[in-house]
Amino acid sequence: MRKRLNKKKVAGLLSVFACLWASQCGARDIMSDPWQITADKISRYRKPDNIVAEGNVVLRRVEDDRPDALTIKADWIRYNLEEGLVHARGNLSMRNTNEDVDAGEALIDLNNETATLSDTTLFVPENNLHFSGKKVEKNDAVTYRFEDGDFTTCKVEEGKKLPWQFHSAETIVKLEKTVVLKHTVLRVKGVPVFYMPYIVLPGNTKRKTGFLLPEFSQSSRSGSGLITPFFVDLSPSSDITFYPGYLAKRGVFAGAEFRYVADYNSRATIAATYIRDKTEDTGDDDYKSDDYLRTEKNRYWLRGKVDHDFGRNLLLKADVDLASDRDYLQEFGDYANGFEDSDEDFLEQFHRGLDEETLPYRTSQVQLGKSWASSYFGGQFVAIDDLVDDSSKQGQVNTLPRLLYNSIFELDSMPLTFSWNSEYVNYYRDEGVGEHRLNMHPRLTAPLPLGSFFEGTLSGGLQETFYSIDAEGGGDNDWDYDDSQIRTAFDFNANIATTVARDFDLNVGSVSWLNHFIRPEIDYTYVSVDHQDRLPGIDDVDQLELKNLLTYSVNNYFRVGGNDNGSYFNRYIGYLKLEQSYDIHEARSGSSGVDGDKEPFSDILLTLNVYPLPGWETRYETSYNVYGEGVRMYNLYSRYASERGDSLSLDYRYTKGSEVNQFNAEALTRLTDTLFLEGDIQQSLHTDETVSASVGLIYHPGCWAVKVQAEKNSDDERIVLMFSLVGFGETLGFGLSGDFEKGFDFDSGSDVLEFD
C-alpha cells in the first residue's frame, strides 16, 4: 500500500525527525529536529518506512538561522526512517559556511554520522582547500577519507590544468585539525615532480599557519640533502615546527622551533638544531683554512629569545645562544631554520638579532627591569659560550650579575636637574682577571641663560668607583697591583647651540618648496681621572680617559613638500652632519704624532642620510685625517625597493690599515608577472676573494612557487630546490606571501639588548 502525490510542480512540506550530516547532532536528535523537503515529487512508503523525493530536491532544516546551517540538494533522495539511512544521487551538493561537498552519489548513516560517497569534491572556503576522489568515506562529523584523491589550494577551473596538486593513494582530512597524505606525488601542470610516502599538513580553518614543504639540496661539502619540516599547531598562541632531515655526506639532521605569543609585549621563540656529523676537519680539509681542526661529532646550536611583560612596568628579556663549535653556524647557516632564518625572525619579532655567525663566542643573557616615573632598577646576567678554548689567553668575561639603579629629578628651589647613576657588577673569568665593581655617579645639570637665539646647558659630576680584583690562574694572568682599588673621576660638560630654518621655493616636478633646518653646536668635555693604570680595563667604565675636548658639529636637516596630482605631500629627505674635535690635553702635552708632531685635531667625520625618492634610502659615513693620511674610513649603504617588487641593496665598508675592505650587494627583480630573479654577493677587496655568492630563480604564478638557488663560498658549493604552496600561509615553503609582491626586506642592522 502506498500513497503517491504527483503533480507537475509540487512542493511538499514534510516534518521528518532526523539529524542529517550536522556535527552537533546525535542519534537521540533523530526524533526532535524537523526538516523541510521541497521537490517536484514526494512519495511515502510504509514497509519499510521510506520517504522518496525526486526532481530538484532541496533538504533544509526548518527555521534554522545558524550560520553553519546545512542545505542538501540532489535529483533524488530516499530516506529510511527505521535504519536512519539516506541515499542520495544526481547533482548532489551539501553546503554550509565551513565546507562544500559535491558528489555523484552518497549513502549517509544518520545514527553514526558516517557516509560513503562517490565522485566527490570537498571545498573548505576559509583556506581555499580543494579535495577530490573517486571513493570517499565520511568516518565522523569532521573526518573524510579519500581514496586515489587529489588536493590543491589553487582555484579549480573546469577544462584547465591545475598549477599544482597532490595526488595521493589515501588522504585523511580532519577539519580544524590535520590533512594526512599517504604515497603522494606532487604534480605541477600535471607533471610529477617528487614523491613523498607520508605528509601531514594543518587542516585548520581558523588559523592560517601553513606548512613547510621539503627542502632539497646538493652540496660539494655535505652531499645530497633532504629536510622535511613538520608543523604542529599546539594552541591559538603557540606552535612548534620539527625539521627532520638527512645530509648524505654528513649524517642525520634534526631541528625544532617552538613559538609562543601571549600578548604584544610577551612572546618567546626557542630553536635547536643537531647533526651527528660523520666528518671531521683534517690538515687537508680545514674548513675556512683557519687552523681550527674540528673533531666534534655531536654538533648542535641552541638559540632563543624571550620577552615577558609582568605588568606595572616590570619587563623580562632573555637571550640564549649556545653552539658546539665555532664552525657550525657557518657550515649549516643556509639550511632550513639556519642562521639567516633565525636572525631575520628574531629581528622582526624581538627587534634584536644574533651575534654574527663568524664570532667564536656566543652571548646568552637575562635581564629583568622595573621602571617608575623618574627611576629605574634592573638586574642582568650574561654568560659567554667561548668556542676558542685557548688556555694561553684570558677567558671571556661573564657578568654574574650586574645591578643598576638610575634616577633623575628636578630640584624645586633652583633650576637644576639632579641625576644619580649607580651600578654593581661582578665580572667573572674561568682564567684571567675579573672584578667586583661598585660605581656611583651623581650629576647636576643646569640651563645656560643665553637669550632667545641660543640655548645651552652646563653639567658636572663626580664618579667614585670601588674595586675588588679577582685573578684566576698564573703566568700572564697574575695581577701586579693591590686587589682593592679606588678611582675618582670628575667630569664637566658645556654645550651651546642655535637653530636656523628657512623655506626655499622650488619648481622641480611636483616639489614646490624645500625646508632647510641647520643646527650648529659647540660642546666642551672635561674628564679628570686618577689611578687609571691600576684597573683591569674590562669595559668602558674601567677605561675612562683623560679628556679636555672641544667639539664642533653642524647638523643639517631637509624636508620637501608639494602637490602630486592633487595630493599634498610633506616628507623628510635626509640630513648631513659634520663633526670634529680639538684635544686641548694633547696640544699641551708632548708630541705624539706619526712624525713626532702634535695632532690635537681629530678626523673630520661626515655623516649623510638621504631619502631622494620614496623607497630609496642611502647612508654614507667617512672620516678624513687632517694630518696627511687622507680618508681613513668609508661606510656606504644604499637600498631601493620599487612598488612592483624590485629591490637593490649595496653595502661597502672600508677602514684604512685593517682588513675591512668589503663590498656586499643584494638584488631582486621581477622579470615577468610570475618570474623573479634574485642574487647576492659578498666580495672581499682586501683579499680579492668572493666570500659568498648566490643566485636564485623564483617562479611564483599565484597559489604556488618554486625556487632554485645556487650558492658558493670559499669552502662549499650548493644547489637548493624549494617549493612553496602559498595558499597555506607565510610559514609555508620559503615564506612567499602577499608581502612578496612588495619585495624582500633587507635589514641592515639589529638592536642590542642593553639597559636603558
pLDDT in tens, 569-591: 889 999 999 999 999 988 887 65
For the entire predicted model, the pTM comes to: 0.68
Which of the listed ranges 122-131, 168-177, 521-530, 722-731 does the model predict with the highest average pLDDT? Answer: 521-530
- Sign of CA pseudo-dihedral 222, 226, 232, 237: positive
Q: Is 533 helix (H, G, I), strand (E, B) or coil?
A: helix
Per-residue pLDDT, averaged over 367-386, amounts to 94
From residue 202, alpha-carbon distances to 112, 131, 173, 555, 662 in Å are 26, 14, 10, 55, 44
Q: Is 286 helix (H, G, I), strand (E, B) or coil?
A: coil
Residue 71's pLDDT band (cuts 50, 70, 90): confident
Which pLDDT value is given to residue 477? 56
Residue 588: in which H helix or E strand, if any?
Answer: helix 584-588
Q: Is 754 helix (H, G, I), strand (E, B) or coil?
A: coil
Q: Has residue 379 got a pLDDT over 60? A: yes
Residue 457, C-alpha cell as written in the block: 646647558
**Ordered DSSP codes for 333-385:** TTSTT-HHHHHHHHHHHHS-----TT-SEEEEEEEEEEE-SSEEEEEEEEEEE
Whole-angstrom distance, CA of residue 632 vs CA of residue 619: 17
Summary mean pLDDT of the chain = 82
Look at 115-119, 207-211, 348-352 and tell me which has the smallest mean pLDDT: 207-211
Q: Is the peptide bond before 401 cis (omega within 30 degrees of 0)?
A: yes
Whole-angstrom distance, CA of residue 567 vs CA of residue 655: 45
Q: Does domain 2-112 have CATH number 2.60.450?
A: yes
Domain-wise residue ranges, the chain = 2-112, 216-371, 395-602, 639-756
Q: Has residue 746 got a pLDDT over 60? A: no
Look at 200-209, 324-333, 517-526, 662-671 and tell me which has the smallest mean pLDDT: 200-209
Residue 446's pLDDT band (cuts 50, 70, 90): very high
Which pLDDT value is given to residue 391? 66
Name the residue with higher pLDDT: 154 or 107.
107
Q: Has residue 732 got a pLDDT over 60? A: no
**Radius of gyration (C-alpha) of the chain in whole angstroms:** 35
Q: Has residue 153 got a pLDDT over 50? A: yes
Contact present, 574 and 590 (Cβ < 8 Å):
no
Q: Has residue 309 got a pLDDT over 60? A: yes
Which pLDDT value is given to residue 34? 54
Q: Has residue 27 got a pLDDT over 60? A: no
Q: Has residue 633 got a pLDDT over 90? A: yes
Which pLDDT value is given to residue 194? 78
Residue 467's pLDDT band (cuts 50, 70, 90): very high
